[in-house]
A and B are shown apart, each in its own frame.
Chain A
């Protein structure tokens, strides 16, 4: 009963840095709390009413003391702020070669899907030593993808994509929680993150029954929802080809002038759900809206497909 943990595992590369900052802050807290308590107890004891300690001309203000206890905390706080800000930026900026995983939060379960196609509920298998980048969205309310052992957390918002990245550094099984209150089974909406050897991970990934990769499933949906009818070149409808579009700026007609928007997840998702909001210059806004017809996981698959053909040149 008594072998309960007092400190979480350090299972990601960033964990050590966050803990170092935490211990620094803990040190400051401990030092100042102890100092104040010792001072108070000392003064209370030494200058108690009956004691005969000397109480001549007690100071009621001293500029030097004030400067010390304004300047001191100010310096400590500036160091903590800059240290935390640098670390925060590092936690924000995902490396380019990260493994893509798509997460959809739904009321009271996590649906994770690897770009190679394997999907899982309330579980996430990740290889050791490779940065993983999660692109996440929610189908209903705000959730929050929280892995304490990796010291990472990111709210998952409906109607928007949010990103988080980490690099596992220790094999094992770690808790996955939902940290933003989301309704009845908020406490049941969690699971496990398995960090596996890279070789083991590849086997797990290509296990039988995993089916097509996300891009292939996306292509199937691309045909199924008749996107291919227009976007793969047709005589009747004049629609932009989607090869070589992902990740590059596209010219968008904004009233009279034209501005360039990056064709990223947000832009493609908005163009599928609300096609008339950012129409590519030189094209008519005739595309129907797919709002409410395509579910979030399918959207992610279609976008993964468009991303996969992003590298190829448009072939007529």
Chain B
């Protein structure tokens, strides 16, 4: 289907036709879409390695002092973590539906689903803030006024405890969930910008490539949390 593709000469985008503008360096729309999606996937590969450094540090400390890490991870709120996972999976669903709406060029649905995704993301951050506040009240923030919780010190009569590795778990916990939260904030900003641009009809065509690329990023942030939740919260919940 050799459609008439107008090369973007320069200056502001032309009136929104149903066909997206083709950048000058591409030959056809299919190649342009392919390049954007492969570009985002390669960027996600760099993000995997970025989180990978932290996961390597976590794996090392869990390997050399497993009991302290297990003991420390019991102080995380498994319930809130589970709730957060549900919220983030929900936001992934709404993001997938948003991409679908963009593919079918139904602008109203697209706007709704983007709004839901951003809202669920903000909801996740809210729950996370509650968790952080709880940990702050229990003096579990390392480097600040970190104290070994009373009942752990008492209980440790039966369990040996290296206090520095106990604190090390929280260093890694705050760094990993903090970095994830930062990526989520960037994701929410990206989704909001996409919603605004769709609402202002800025995109030439339905902006389907941009929405799909945003979706890829959002699903990646969700996959990171899918791994972080069991690794940090569910190490040893029984005792």
Q: Do chains A and B directly touch (beta carbons under 8 Å) in the complex?
A: yes
A contacts, CB < 8 Å to B: 252-255, 274, 276-279, 284-285
A254 to B156, Cβ gap below 8 A?
A: no
B contacts, CB < 8 Å to A: 67, 156-164
Q: A254-B67, A255-B67 are in contact. Are A274 and B162 (CB under 8 A)?
A: yes
Chain B: minimal CB distance from A85 (Å): 25
A254 to B157, Cβ gap below 8 A?
A: no
A284–B160 Cα distance when bound, in Å, is 10
B161 to A253, Cβ gap below 8 A?
A: no
Majority secondary structure, B binding face: loop
Majority secondary structure, A binding face: loop
A276 to B161, Cβ gap below 8 A?
A: yes
Chain B: minimal CB distance from A148 (Å): 33
A311–B160 Cα distance when bound, in Å, is 28
Chain B: minimal CB distance from A273 (Å): 10
A284–B164 Cα distance when bound, in Å, is 20
Chain B: minimal CB distance from A176 (Å): 32
Residues of B within 8 A of A279 (CB): 160
Residues of A within 8 A of B161 (CB): 276-277
Residues of A within 8 A of B160 (CB): 252-254, 276-279, 285
Chain A: minimal CB distance from B162 (Å): 4
A274 to B163, Cβ gap below 8 A?
A: yes
Nearest B residue to A279 via CB reads: B160
Chain B: minimal CB distance from A288 (Å): 13
Interface core residue of A255, A278, A279 (most chain B CB under 10 Å): A255
Q: A274-B163, A277-B162 are in contact. Are A285 and B67 (CB under 8 A)?
A: no
Q: Which one, A252, A278, A285, contacts B156 given CB within 8 A? A: A285
A83–B160 Cα distance when bound, in Å, is 44
A182–B60 Cα distance when bound, in Å, is 25
Residues of A within 8 A of B163 (CB): 274, 276
Chain A: minimal CB distance from B149 (Å): 15
